[in-house]
Amino acid sequence: MAMALHRYASAPLTDGLPLLDVPGFWAAHLADLSEGFPAEAFGFDAADAGVALERLHDRSAWPVFTVSLAGGFAIVVHYNSGEEFTTTDYFLTHRDWPDSRALVLASDDQDRIGPGLCWPELAALLPAPAEAAGVTDPHARLLLLLPVLGDADAPPEAVDAVVEALVAQGAPPGCEALAAQLLEGHPMWGAATWTYDVDERSWICDGEHSPRQEPLGERLPDVQRDALETVLCGPPGAEASLPAPAL
């Protein structure tokens, strides 16, 4: 499934990277997934989270975040604030693709598209490649992409990884309950079952609204398809632990 990025050409886009340091950002970005938890669960108060949410929903400045991946790929996160509501789109892009080739992984607009990643894939995307631009901290990459995730079989270490990321970003220790809820999937599509198709070299999702019901990138040239397979970590059994943060 493709969604043309050129629709943003005349939009008031702004680099979202500085927002990662705004107090309450993660409580705002993950608000849909963390319903029932106060902003304090993220280590900030409600006022901080409210200010951060206003920044994310600013109709005059739509934040864009780039998670650079190996092989020229990237996941681009777009906040889109119209007259009535704000939605968020998550695209897989490549430096050699025209905007029209971008693949949508998830979108919380009225068409609800997701989930777009399983846990082994997300875990493989956490280390930033050398000289990457955009969001490079592995904990921030994990939390930023959590809304795309929806994996009913996420292993126990996934909770540990999310706890580690939350604490690194300001949450108090003992946030296992929050981490577990964040792993239940976006409320618009929830968690789904994934299987790895060896012949197609792709994880396949059984989620009703998932764009991953078909092999990801199945129409790509072989070179790009091979690179994408490497980026998304391959078959079951691949290591899925969060890399240690740099000291």
- Alpha helix segments (H runs only) across the chain: 25-29, 46-56, 119-124, 138-145, 156-168, 176-182, 222-231
Angle CA 82–84–86, to nearest 5? 55
Supply the pLDDT for residue 200.
83
Print burial letters for 38-62: b (CB count within 10 Å at least 16), e (below 16): ebebbbbeeebbebbbebbbeeebb
Contact 8, 102 (CB under 8 A): no
**DSSP-derived secondary structure for 142-190:** HHHHGGGB-BTT--HHHHHHHHHHHHHTTPPS--HHHHHHHTT--TTT-
Q: pLDDT tens, position by position, for the chain (247 residues)?
A: 334 354 566 689 999 999 999 999 999 999 999 999 999 999 999 999 999 999 999 999 999 999 999 989 999 999 998 767 899 999 999 988 877 678 999 999 888 999 999 999 999 999 999 989 999 999 999 999 999 999 999 999 999 999 999 999 999 999 999 999 999 999 999 999 999 988 888 899 999 999 999 998 888 888 888 888 888 864 444 433 333 333 2
CA nearest 129: which of 121, 120, 117, 138?
Answer: 138
What confidence score (pLDDT) does residue 9 get?
Answer: 63
DSSP 218: T
CA 20 and chain centroid, separation = 14
Q: pLDDT at position 19, please?
A: 98
pLDDT at 226: 81
Please answer whether residues 219 and 105 qualify as being in contact, where contact means their C-beta atoms are separated by less than 8 angstroms: no
pTM for this predicted structure: 0.90
The per-residue pLDDT for 7 is 57
pLDDT of 156:
95
Please, are residues 207 and 150 in contact by the beta-carbon 8 Å criterion?
A: yes
